């Protein structure tokens, strides 16, 4: 049997090798991939022709990459005029930040305005969630109080008790006449049963799937997934963060207790989330909705937290999410605290963190102790090893699985959202983060990080260097292909 399989492989390999030559030409001349990723794919295509072919079809191809989120001309001109006016106000110091220590972040605010249409909103109240119980309790309460519309966008909505509870609450609001739109990524929502949304749709709820497969129940489009997790209710309240909808996000999955981060935002930043949702919805759905005033009510918030909503993905020329991380790192003077379940940074992020640590900034990173994707986990561990030599301190979170995607610098500014610190979030997925400039809110993120340290184990340089040979082999193999993830 084994001999027969080997013969089949040897017979087919030359055929796939010829096909892979054309893929390699496309990688070099058409796709403009990152050079490291391009070399990795070419190596895989020629060393393991059949497996390389299959992996490239699933993970590597750019056949569907395009700039898909373009505002209509009139809307684009409208938003460009608003952004132009705010840029002038920033330069002329007409926009007052709530603390003089935040002035150093003014260039970052301008950068995100220019590069990400990241309008700075100043009137927000922000609540921080680190447990699924409190986050979903708050979300369900807001859903039940909705009067006009509920716009919900998630990478994953499980067909489990929590997913059923959320869908049931949405269905009841749809029956009451509230406009309810539910957008889910087609890959993340692939496990939905046919009847899961039957009552929801019958009640008037609307559903769209992001980037569905051409073949039912078989989605090979692993790249360009909508990884965002945002909710907007009545244009007044928004949620953003790392939680998907499923029982594991309540700590009831195989990874045990779940530590994540999300924000509830009341104020004008909710309208920035609304813009993001409408653009995503109009791409994924035939039910095109415009930028009507009914979705953009006047803010009633009296909060004072400055927030920018930053979106990034393969539809942007540069990636504002990664650049927001880089800018926060370069502006730090005392501390940089990072949490991410997947830490596979590119050279620019590695260099920035190394330079910050060598400059005397206290740089600390928390990753999980339990891998949900072992290949990614061992890649992360190898990059952590590089940074330890520069003075970065790293930890594994021991009280379950940490899924938070956060950075906070100097207890003054920070970011919470869906974007991991990896190549996939930087280049291949559609992500959304909220950047906060506020001593109180950022100080809370700072305190949460320090509390998490008490439940973590430090990866010292000595400990890392004394790791066993089998672990070094895992790291080396995983890291070799990390640019392809």
Annotation marks residue 160 as catalytic: no
Residues 6+ apart with CB under 8 A from 448: 128, 130, 261
310 φ, ψ to 5°?
A: -120, 125
Q: Which of 227, 264, 438, 446 is catalytic?
A: 227
Q: Which of 149, 403, 446, 474 is catalytic?
A: 403
Q: Which of 260, 280, 346, 410 is catalytic?
A: 410
Instruction: Report the C-alpha gap between 270 and 264 in whole angstroms.
Output: 9
**Angle ∠(149,155,156) on CA atoms, nearest 5:** 95
Q: Which of 135, 151, 234, 452 is catalytic?
A: 234
Instruction: Report the C-alpha gap between 88 and 19 in whole angstroms.
Output: 53
Annotation marks residue 403 as catalytic: yes
Contact 436, 264 (CB under 8 A): no
Annotation marks residue 373 as catalytic: no
Annotation marks residue 234 as catalytic: yes
Instruction: Report the C-alpha gap between 157 and 243 in whole angstroms.
Output: 10
The β-bridge partners of 232 are: 151, 238
| DSSP three-state, residue 204 | coil
Annotation marks residue 149 as catalytic: no
Distance between start and end Cα atoms, the chain = 33
Contact 173, 143 (CB under 8 A): yes
Burial pattern 405-441, b for ≥16 Cβ within 10 A else e, equals bbbbbbbbbbbbbbbbbbbbbbbbbbbbbbbbbbbeb
Q: Which of 33, 135, 151, 229 is catalytic?
A: 229
The β-bridge partners of 152 are: 182, 231
Annotation marks residue 229 as catalytic: yes
Alpha-carbon torsion, ordered 244, 186, 167, 309, to 10 deg: 50
* Strands in 326-455 per DSSP E: 335-339, 343-344, 362-368, 393-397, 401-402, 406-409, 413-417, 421-422, 431-437
Instruction: Report the C-alpha gap between 118 and 121 in whole angstroms.
Output: 9
Residues labelled as active-site residues:
227, 229, 234, 403, 405, 410
């Amino acid at each position: 049997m084994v001999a027969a399989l080997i013969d089949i492989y040897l017979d087919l390999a030359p055929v796939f090798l010829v096909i892979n030559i054309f893929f390699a030409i496309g990688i070099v001349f058409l796709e403009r991939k990152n050079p490291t990723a391009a070399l990795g794919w070419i190596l895989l295509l020629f060393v393991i022709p059949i497996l390389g072919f299959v992996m490239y079809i699933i993970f590597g191809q750019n056949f569907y990459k395009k700039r898909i989120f373009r505002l209509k001309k009139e809307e684009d001109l409208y938003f460009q005029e608003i952004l132009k006016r705010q840029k002038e106000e920033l330069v002329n110091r007409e926009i007052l930040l709530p603390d003089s220590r935040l002035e150093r972040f003014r260039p970052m605010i301008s950068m995100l305005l220019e590069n990400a249409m990241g309008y700075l909103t100043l009137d927000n109240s922000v609540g921080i969630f680190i447990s699924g119980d409190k986050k979903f309790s708050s979300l369900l309460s807001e859903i039940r109080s909705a009067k006009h519309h509920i716009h919900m966008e998630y990478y994953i909505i499980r067909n489990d008790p929590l997913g059923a509870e959320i869908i049931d609450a949405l269905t009841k609001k749809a029956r009451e006449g509230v406009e309810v739109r539910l957008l889910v990524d087609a890959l993340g929502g692939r496990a939905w049963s046919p009847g899961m949304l039957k009552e929801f749709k019958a009640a008037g709820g609307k559903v769209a799937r992001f980037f569905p497969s051409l073949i039912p129940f078989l989605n090979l489009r692993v790249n360009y997934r909508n990884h965002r997790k945002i909710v907007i209710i009545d244009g007044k309240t928004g949620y953003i963060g790392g939680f998907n909808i499923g029982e594991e996000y309540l700590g009831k999955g195989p990874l045990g207790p779940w530590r994540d981060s999300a924000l509830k935002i009341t104020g004008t930043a909710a309208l920035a989330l609304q813009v993001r949702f409408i653009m995503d919805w109009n791409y994924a759905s035939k039910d095109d909705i415009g930028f009507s005033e009914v979705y953009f009510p006047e803010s009633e918030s009296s909060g004072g937290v400055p927030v920018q909503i930053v979106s990034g993905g393969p539809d942007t020329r540069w990636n504002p999410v990664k650049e927001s991380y880089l800018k926060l790192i370069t502006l730090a003077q005392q501390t940089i605290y990072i949490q991410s379940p997947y830490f596979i940074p590119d050279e620019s992020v590695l260099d920035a963190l190394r330079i910050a640590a060598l400059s005397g900034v206290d740089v600390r990173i928390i990753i999980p102790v339990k891998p949900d994707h072992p290949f990614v986990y061992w890649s992360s561990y190898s990059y952590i090893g590089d940074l330890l030599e520069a003075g970065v301190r790293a930890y594994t979170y021991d009280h379950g699985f940490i899924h938070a995607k956060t950075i906070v610098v100097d207890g003054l500014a920070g970011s919470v959202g869906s974007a991991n610190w990896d190549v996939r979030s930087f280049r291949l997925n559609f992500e959304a983060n909220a950047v906060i400039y506020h001593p109180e809110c950022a100080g809370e993120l700072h305190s949460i990080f320090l509390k998490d340290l008490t439940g973590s184990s430090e990866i010292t340089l000595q400990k890392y260097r004394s790791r066993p040979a089998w672990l070094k082999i895992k790291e080396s193999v995983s890291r070799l292909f990390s640019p392809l993830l």
